[in-house]
Structure 1
Amino acid sequence: MRAIWKGAVSFGLVSVPVKLYSATESHDVSFRQVHASDGGRIKYQRVCAIDGEEIAYADIAKGYETEDGEMVILSDDDMAQLPSTSSREIAVEKFVPTDQIDPMLFEKSYYLEPEKSGAKPYALLRQALIDADRMAVVTVALRQRTTVAVLRVRDDVIVLQTMMWPDEIRQPDFTIDTGEIKDSEVKMANMLVETLAGDFDAGDFEDDYADAVQELVRTKIEGGEIKRTPTSTKSSGEVVDLLAALQRSVQNAKSARGEATDADDDSDDGTDEKPARKTAAKKAPAKKAPARKTAAKKAPAKKTAAKKTTTRKTAAKKAS
Structure 2
Amino acid sequence: MRSIWKGAITFGLVNVPVKVYSATEDHDIALHQVHDKDGGRIRYQRRCEVCHRVVDYEHIDRAYDDGERTVVLTEDDLKTLPEERSREIDVLEFVPSDQLDPIMFDRSYFLEPDGSSAKAYVLLRRTLEATERTAIVHFSLRQKTRLGALRVRGKTLMLQSLLWDDEVREADFPALKAGIRVTEKELSLSANLVESLSEDFAPADFGDDYQRELQTLIDAKLKEGESVDTDATFGDDDSDAGSGKGEGEVIDLMDALRQSVDRTRAAKTKKKA
Q: Could you say which TM-score interval applies, normalised by the shorter chain?
A: 0.7 to 0.9
Looking at structure 1, the residues matched to 194 and 81 of structure 2 have their Cα atoms a distance apart, in angstroms, of 51
CA-CA distance at 1:198 after TM superposition: 1.4
Q: Distance in 2 between matches of 1:20 and 1:38?
A: 45
Give me the whole-angstrom Cα distance separating, in 2, the residues matched to 1:26 and 1:163: 20
Within 5 A, what are the aligned runs for 1:201-240? 201-225=202-226
Contact 2:45 2:54 in 1 (8 A): no
| Aligned residue in 1 for 2:85 | 86
Structure 2 gap ranges (5+): 228-273
| Matching residue of 1:125 | 124
Q: Contact 1:9/1:91 (CA < 8 Å) preserved in 2?
A: yes
Given the superposition, is the C-alpha separation of residues 106 and 89 from structure 1 closer, same or farther in structure 2, using an over 3 Å criterion?
A: same
- 1:8-29 residue CA offsets vs partner (Å, 9 max, x unmatched): 1112211111111000011223
Q: CA deviation at 1:82?
A: 6.1
Whole-angstrom CA distance in 1 between matches of 2:172 and 2:123: 45
Shift of 1:32: 1.1
In the other structure, the counterpart of 1:21 is: 21
**Length, aligned pairs only:** 220
**Local SS of the residue matching 2:85:** coil
Letter of the structure 2 residue corresponding to residue 156 of structure 1: K
Distance in 1 (alpha carbons) for counterparts of 2:99 and 2:71: 39
Residue 73, structure 1, aligned to residue 70, structure 2: yes
Q: Would the aligned equivalents of 2:47 and 2:54 in 1 still touch at CA under 8 Å? A: no
Q: Is 2:111 aligned against 1:112?
A: yes
SS of the aligned residue for 1:116 comes to coil
| Residues 61, 85 of structure 1: alpha-carbon distance in 2 compared, 3 angstrom cutoff | closer
1:282 aligned residue: none
| 2:16 counterpart letter in structure 1 | V
Secondary structure at 1:32's aligned position in 2?
coil
| Counterpart position of 1:257 | none
Q: In structure 2, what is the Cα distance between the partners aligned to 1:84 and 1:91?
A: 12
* Alpha carbons 1:61, 1:73 under 8 Å: kept: no
Cα distance 1:17–1:82, how it changes in 2: closer, same or farther (>3 A)?
Answer: closer
Structure 2 CA distance for aligned equivalents of residues 40 and 96 of structure 1 = 55
Number of the residue aligned with 2:192? 191
Separation in 1, partners of 2:99, 2:60: 48
Structure 2 distance, partners of 1:145, 1:59, is: 18
Q: Distance in 1 between matches of 2:90 and 2:110?
A: 16
Partner of 2:41: 41
- Normalised to the residue count of structure 1, the TM-score between the two structures is 0.62
Residues 48 and 55 of structure 1 are in contact (CA less than 8 Å); yes or no, is this contact kept in structure 2? yes
Residue 62 of structure 1: aligned partner: 63
Moved more, 81-90 or 155-164: 81-90
1:136-170 per-residue CA deviation (whole Å, 9 max, x = no partner) reads: 11111112332111111101100011111100001
Question: Helix, strand or coil for the counterpart of 1:199?
Answer: coil
* Matched-pair contact (CA < 8 Å) for 1:85–1:141: yes
Structure number with greater Rg is 1
CA, structure 1 residues 101+186, in 2 after alignment: closer, same or farther (shift >3 Å)? same
* 5+ long unaligned stretches in structure 1: 227-320
- Between the aligned partners of 2:7 and 2:81, the Cα distance in structure 1 is 23
- What amino acid does structure 1 have at the position aligned with 2:73? D
Change (3 A) 1:61 1:15: closer
Residue 47 and residue 119 in structure 1: after superposition, are their counterparts in 2 closer, same or farther (change >3 A)? closer
- Output one character per residue of 1:267-306: Cα deviation in whole Å (capped at 9) or x when no partner: xxxxxxxxxxxxxxxxxxxxxxxxxxxxxxxxxxxxxxxx
The alignment partner of 1:85 has SS state of: helix
Any runs of at least 4 consecutive aligned residues in structure 1 with deviations exceeding 3 A, and if so which?
Answer: 44-49, 53-61, 77-84
Sort the Cα spacing of 1:61 and 1:103 in 2 relative to 1 into closer, same or farther, 3 A: closer
> Shift in Å at residue 182 of structure 1?
1.8
Distance 1:59 1:151, change over 3 A: closer
The residue correspondences of 1:260-279 to structure 2 (distance < 5 A) are none
Alignment of 1:132-147 (within 5 A): 132-147=131-146
